[in-house]
Structures are given as C-alpha cells and as structure tokens.
A and B are shown apart, each in its own frame.
Chain A
C-alpha cells in the first residue's frame, strides 16, 4: 500500500528542499535553482496524484488515517477525544493541489530576480507551499487548521521581510485580518469537535446531513456556526468590507508571493465555503443564499467600480480579484448545479488568470521599474511578445469566450438567473465594467505612443515565455474544453 502514503509524501515534499537549503551557505549561487527544483518535486507528485485519482467516483480518495493523539478530559473520562492524522482528496481538492504545485513552480522562477535573502526566502516559500498543499489534502479539520496557520505565518514572514515600501504595514494588516478569521474558524472547529466528537470532514458531513433530526446542533446553532465560517473564509476570499488587507498584500508582496496569493491562497476562502459551509450546513446556506448573493453582487460591482479609477496596476488587479470573487459568491448563492460549478470554475480559472497577470506584472516591474499606469505605455512597440501575452491575459480576465473566464462566468450567471434573476440582471453590469477597466489597464500599458525610455528593454525571456505559455494554454484549454474540469470535479455536494 505505497499509494496510501502518497499524499503524506506530497504534502511534506517541500521539506526536502527546506532541509537542503538550511545546510547551504546563503551566498551560494545555486540557491535559486535548488529552490526551483524543490518546487518541481511537489509538482511531479501532484501529477501522480492526479493520474491516480479516479474520475467520476464520489467521495474521498487516496485516503490515509492514523490516530495522532487522544485527549482525556474530566468531562468524559472513559471516552477520549481522538484527533487523527487524516489525508485524502476529492475532485475539488485535487484540482487545487495541481493548481498550487503548478503556480508555485512557475512563481519560483520569478523569485530568481530577487537580490537579497534568497535562502531565507525559499525556505519560507517552500513552507508556504507545504501549508497550502496540506490545506487542500487534509481530511481532518484540526489538520486543516494547522496547515492553514502555516500558510498564514509564512505569508506574513514573506510579506514582512521581502515586501515593498510599506511591507510592515501590509504584513500586520494581513496578520490581523487573517488572525481574526482563524480564531473564528477555530471556534467553529472546536464547537463541532465538542458536539460531534470528530473532526473528520467526511464524517462530519454525513453526521450533519441528517438535518431533520437536528440531533447534534440546533438549527440556530448551525446558523451561527455558518455565519462564523462565512466571516472566517470571507476574510480570506475576501468579501467586502473585509478586503483592505488583501489590496495591500497585492501591492506590497514580492511577485512570487502575489502569484501564489492571488492564484491559490485566496481560493482557500472559496474552498472552505464550498467544502465546509456547503458540506456541513447546506440547509442553512440555502437559507442565507440571498444574503450571500447580495454580498457577491456588492463584491462584483464594488471591486469593478474601484478598479476603474485605480492608477496602480497591482491595486487595480487586486480590486479586479475582489470583483471576480463576487462571481464565486454569486454562483455559490444560486444553489443549483450550474451556479456552484460556475463558482468552482471561477476559482480555478481566476487562479490561472491572476497568476498569469502577476507573472507579467513581474516582467513589468523588472523591465520598466514601475506599475503606475501613467508612467507606462506603448510597450507593444518594444516588447511585442510581452504585449501579446498581457493582452491575452486581460482578455481572459474579462471573460472572453474560448478562455476559462467565460465558461465560469457563464455557468455562474446561468445559475443565478435561475435562482435570482433580478440579482443576475444587476450583476451583468459587472461584465461590462470588467471589460471597461481591464481594457483601460491593458491598453494603457501596451498601446499608445512609443516611449523612447523603454527602447532598450528586453522582451520576454525564454523562461518567462514558457511559464506564460503554460498558463495561457491551460486557460484556453479549459475555455475550449471545460469538460476536463467537470469530469474531475464529479458531483459537488451542494445544489441540485
């Protein structure tokens, strides 16, 4: 049964790189390559996991379970509370695992440009990857929380040490918002643990499914727990007005971290909402669907309007992410299979697109030294390849058919129009606005008169070209043949 240890191997595979790096001199020239190679290992392992994952089968696969420790309490001395080390993947998490490993691998290349503290950077960077991989393969809430905290701490360190001009402020802002989110999450986890005596996700889902009996928790208690979950994961997503930390992170963090942050970390919020919110409390979620939909609508429009007047490319994309996450909420709130699938599609699609956009912004920062829109312009003359990719990424982001963004938005709105046509009708304004602000940004960078100061700037390097192509090909692949995702996802527990 070597297979059953595969996930453990995968989750802890970044440790190899961490250990290797620990023993290296900080000045060593090959540190960056060791760092990149260490992210290749998880990628290969996720590909193995992906290929072993059997499609079309419901439930958790590649499971493994060991008792980790037992808690004796004075309340029930004979029945210890057991916490297990349980890993497993569903169709949803296997996609996220792959996304994580891929984006981390590509992001590690952008870190090569960094000047100082590469050793420390890669150690914490790999720790971050370990945390995210753990989050998506945990089958146990305690384990989930543990890995969740690892991502939090490592992001905090990466941001605070290697960030931009206002890095400390951004780092503390990140820590405080997300720390509060984690506390709420912990409250939910402990409540469930005390009441149901297990933290296994599948068991919890099954136990709570029997909503008629309300044996364990009353309807109101469940509602409160759901609200806590929505706030906890909503901070991560983020839901307006809990978003200001996220804008700062986008603006301040090093590009490699932003790629992971926008590409995967934010998706933990959506993942948590779908897996736990929808899995544990489907009835309550349905009852607060209108609230969720309105929140989604606010996100969608609020982000779009503010993105329209941003003058800084990173801040603009941060608000664009907020807007796109609104579609996730809308799809989820529609509570039918089209909408929920649309929401999931959107998380994955946005992960790829945001990663691509920030990869290219890394190029902008490197070549042109600024991300202010008024200082950029006309780069299509000097760097046509870059301009082409940037334009393609922008078009993907505004939901052009043939790219992944379209099918996600289509499905999400299809769902919304069934459940709440009025909200859907208001929401489509967001589609127009997205086109407005994305084109404004993309054209401000690439189109316009040639600027002589950019004349000697290099176009995409081979690495950058390959990285962007990989992401773009995946975006187009999903856009043209979305069945590739549905076959892996299988049936999602919520909606009907």
Chain B
C-alpha cells in the first residue's frame, strides 16, 4: 500500500541518531544533552518499528521492544532530570564541563 521504502525510514533514523549523537557529545548544557539522548533513542525506535514491518522476520516483536524503549526513555529522562536538578542545587550550574567528579 505504502510506497515509502525501508531505506527512507532508515535514513530518517540515521539522521535523527546523528543529530542526537552530535548534540550529546558537543552540547555543554546538560538539559540539551538529555534531549539529544532522547533523540537517539527515538531513532532506535524508528528502526525497530521499521524492521518490524519490513524486516526479514517481520513480527510484532519490534514494536513491543519500541514500547519498552519508550518506557525506559521516559524513566531515564525522569531520573536524569532529577539528578540534574539535584546537581543544579549543589553546583548552581548544568554545564557538563564542570561535571568532572569522575576524574577526582
């Protein structure tokens, strides 16, 4: 029915993932980093759903996994934001450059 090929979904997902990755690795604001991670997760979701429809062994499993991912992403965003707020209260900043306690 639909004429949109699998590759289009994959390319969209790839672009989305790359944007997310770029944001996660380069942005200094932790909130934007979190949003970028969400972007990457959504890119994965697109892939999961696309393969569930057009993949070799197409089945409902992919969609189920995407639901899981969405749930985990939501939880992750909640926990991440909570940590961020706690961090902001402590440090007065959400700049990731200053979050280097791993080193010390």
Chains A and B share a contact (CB less than 8 Å): no
